[in-house]
Chains A and B, each alone.
Chain A
Amino acid sequence: MSETILSIQDLGKSFGNHEVLRKIDIDVKKGEVICIVGSSGSGKSTLLRCINKLEKQTRGKILYHDEEVTDVQSHINDYRSKVGMVFQSFNLFNNMTVLGNCMLCTRKVLHISKEEAFDRAITHLKEVGMAPYINAKPSMLSGGQKQRVAIARALCMNPEILLFDEPTSALDPEMVGEVLTVMKELATTGLTMMIVTHEMAFARDVSTRTIFMDNGYVAEDAAPEILFTNPKNERTREFLSRYLAG
């Protein structure tokens, strides 16, 4: 059995009286590609944001290599530098070029040399096919290009696990394809990933494990071939049938 990177235990999150996450227990092992599916409002994005500490959980804890991630800022920074995140709205730095976006955090957080940061940036930008655009500003790129840069930027940190929060939801169908292709390739490299997505075919193809979330709970957590063909949970079946019906 490969080692556990993340262990989410009894996680709960409420916004005021509204309980978004009720009780989440998930262990993430090295090399797993976990897709999280479910209807809007089921808590998928909130779960990822809690994992990255962008939201503070109201209950439970997150263990990173068996060590609890505390609320101390320096500890959080340290933890985040190993847990990358790709957002629905790309969140590139608008005041910097593509190259600047990819070099800033490696320079300022990991404190690597300029040359090494540059090499890393070029390597990962090539991987996503965006190396020719190093001099462009984010505002000059299309959505798909922005998202590919965002993925390269996250990869530059050499994260142990990469979280994707609906990375294709803001893209038109053509651009969805180019981003998913990049992600499929990443999945084959052995990188550990957690992907919140509405792309069912993609989830079925790339994930090693699929989680169906419903109403703040993990309703079903199974291998994709089981979850997509023979779901045990009634809600999963309902959700998938509606999806497949279009």
Chain B
Amino acid sequence: MTMNLFSQTDPTNSLEWTWFIANKYSSMFIQGTYLTLYTAVIGTLVGFLLGYLIGVIQDMKVNPGDNALKKVTVRLLKTVSGAYVEIFRDTPMIVQAMIIYYGLRQANVEMTPVFAGILVTVLNTGAYMAETVRAGIGSIDIGQREGAYAMGMSPMKTMIYIVLPQAFKNIIPEMANTFLTNLKMTSVLNVIAVQELFMAAKTAGGNYYKYFESYLVIALIYFVLCFIFNKLFIFIEKGMQGSEDYALAVEYMDNQ
């Protein structure tokens, strides 16, 4: 019965064709899944780092008493990072991929499509994350910072020990969102010949003129991946909330 429905050799309907293509090109789809994950994970993680860096730079302030070098450096960093965020947020990722890959090739910088793909993902993620981090920093009430400043903590130390850990926690949902978006957005990297899932579907579908069935296969893979990661992130987020209980340190109780 099952064998009839999912004929391996002689597919007659869409369902059978989907099954047929998934089987026939299984290694290509697995390779595509791997590359999609690889690009998305590396690109997102490095992009997050970049986003944090830019977010912190955007939050920097100069004192009137600071020396000229510091003033100039901070202003320059802010201008450059501001321009970067603006450019990458205001252009489509697919266009960025083309411009970066072919632009760098024209400038005789050799790179593999995968490397270029990761680079584009990093730059794109960084720009969006910078804004998210800025909002996350803003979500921490200024009082906590003042509390730290008032005890002689430098703005940078305050950022590292007090603001960022809390901002991080607040923007976890947004970070999860960004990762899921990236996982799906890697599909546009097929334009610079990254052999990810979309490319796999395009190739497989092209061989039999069965595009619908072929893309159905990767739609399912994307869905399963995103579904699993989504559940994982919710689990992590819950784990980070921590316990509401605490043990009294009885050794310091007064026994009056």
Please give the distance in Å from B181's CB to the nearest CB on chain A.
28
CB < 8 Å neighbour of A93 from B65, B144, B152: B144
Interface of B is mostly: loop
The B-contacting residues of A in range 121-170, CB under 8 angstroms, are 122, 125-126, 129, 131-137, 140, 150, 153-154, 157
Report the stretch among A3-11, A20-28, A82-90 that lies at the interface. Answer: A82-90
CB < 8 Å neighbour of A73 from B150, B154, B246, B252: B154
The range of chain B's interface size is: 20 to 34
Q: When the two chains form their complex, are residues A136 and B155 in contact, meaning their CB atoms are under 8 A apart?
A: no
Q: When the two chains form their complex, are residues A105 and B144 in contact, meaning their CB atoms are under 8 A apart?
A: no
Q: When the two chains form their complex, are residues B162 and A95 in contact, meaning their CB atoms are under 8 A apart?
A: yes
Q: When the two chains form their complex, are residues B153 and A77 in contact, meaning their CB atoms are under 8 A apart?
A: yes
Chain B residues near A134: list those with CB within 8 A.
249, 252
Q: When the two chains form their complex, are residues B151 and A109 in contact, meaning their CB atoms are under 8 A apart?
A: yes
Report if A93-B154 is in contact (Cβ < 8 Å); known contacts: A105-B148, A132-B248: no
Q: When the two chains form their complex, are residues A71 and B65 in contact, meaning their CB atoms are under 8 A apart?
A: yes
Indicate if B146 sits at the interface (CB-CB under 8 A): yes
Q: How many residues of A contact B (CB 8 A)?
A: 48
In the bound assembly, the distance between CA atoms of A95 and B161 in angstroms comes to 9
Complex: chain A residue closest to B242, CB-CB = A137
Residues on B facing A (Cβ under 8 Å)? 63-67, 143-144, 146-155, 157, 161-162, 165-166, 169, 242, 244, 246-250, 252-254
Please give the distance in Å from A82's CB to the nearest CB on chain B.
8
Please give the distance in Å from A13's CB to the nearest CB on chain B.
15
Q: When the two chains form their complex, are residues A92 and B249 in contact, meaning their CB atoms are under 8 A apart?
A: no
Chain B residues near A136: list those with CB within 8 A.
246
Q: When the two chains form their complex, are residues A154 and B143 in contact, meaning their CB atoms are under 8 A apart?
A: no
In the bound assembly, the distance between CA atoms of A96 and B147 in angstroms comes to 13
Q: When the two chains form their complex, are residues B153 and A105 in contact, meaning their CB atoms are under 8 A apart?
A: yes
Complex: chain A residue closest to B62, CB-CB = A73
The B-contacting residues of A in range 85-107, CB under 8 angstroms, are 85, 87, 89-97, 104-105
Chain A residues near B162: list those with CB within 8 A.
93, 95-96, 104
Please give the distance in Å from B250's CB to the nearest CB on chain A.
7
Report if A84-B63 is in contact (Cβ < 8 Å); known contacts: A108-B161, A133-B249: no
Please give the distance in Å from B23's CB to the nearest CB on chain A.
51
CB < 8 Å neighbour of A125 from B152, B153, B246, B252: B252
A-B pairs with beta carbons under 8 Å apart, 20 shown: A56-B64, A70-B65, A71-B66, A76-B63, A76-B65, A77-B154, A78-B152, A81-B151, A84-B150, A91-B146, A95-B169, A104-B153, A105-B153, A108-B157, A131-B249, A134-B249, A135-B247, A137-B242, A140-B246, A154-B151
| Residue from A84, A95, A131, A154 having most chain B Cβ neighbours under 10 A | A95
